[in-house]
Amino acid sequence: MLITTKGIVFSALRYGEADLIVKCFTQKSGLKTYLLRGVLKSRKGKLKASLFQPLSQLEIVANHKDKGTLEYMKEAKLTKPYQSLHTHVIKSTVVMFLSEVLRNAVKEEEANPALYDYVEASLEWFDSHEKTVNFHLLFLLKLTRYLGFYPDDSQQDAPVFNLIDGTFQDVETNLDCINDENVVLLQRLLGTEFDDLSSLKLNQTARSGFLLMLLKYFEIHLQGFHKPKSLAVLNEIFT
């Protein structure tokens, strides 16, 4: 079925000498994987390799067979040309990291408009603001709401956070409970909006520690999720 939909690029991997295998999270059909033949050598086609940078926002015309196989993309064009995400060295590193997280975390091959709208709007905010050093932390925390394991904040003042249950509690009940500065930061970030991030002052140690806690939380709740390979690069850029 020929369909026109918005899509966000999660990854683009070279296949052979001239082809790309592209994973896109589409607004109308969820996660789709496309085989783009000859795109790395073609100069005249409607598909250009430069369109498929990490987290680019596109309008896609594609033929979806919806059989779990590689799909055919007929046309694509940028819908939201970024001003900084692919050119600013720190932002581009964060984009690389987040694209890997999303590729590992989002598996659904069906429409999820709320998740799509969240990722789209968050990226546009990130692109248009300067004080964004902690953006990835809040992005990942908010992402858990759309993936089904946002922390239960009904007992938010309790000193312990249970990574397995996603709840705050008074005492540790298993080895995956935390009771340290990460709990305090988590409590602060719950309910925080991106526009409030400029008031959040963290050193690299605190930022890195909280990110590791978040990634462990993802690993516990998402089957097959693993720490992104780009984490080392991200940590280096923030050193």
Q: Which of 112, 94, 85, 142 is nearest to 7 (CA)?
A: 112
* Element holding 61 (H helix, E strand): strand 57-63
CATH number of the 89-237 domain: 1.20.1440.120
Which pLDDT tens digit goes with each residue over 175-197?
Answer: 999 999 999 999 999 989 999 99
pLDDT at 42: 74
CATH number of 2-78: 2.40.50.140
| 123-138 pLDDT per residue, tens | 999 999 998 999 999 9
**Please, which pLDDT band fits residue 239 given cuts at 50, 70 and 90?**
low
pTM: predicted TM-score of the whole model, two decimal places: 0.95
Alpha helix stretches (DSSP H) within the chain: 89-105, 113-128, 135-147, 181-189, 204-221, 231-237
Q: Which pLDDT belongs to residue 169? A: 97
Domain ranges of the chain: 2-78, 89-237
Distances (CA, A) of 3 to 7, 39, 74, 208: 12, 20, 10, 41
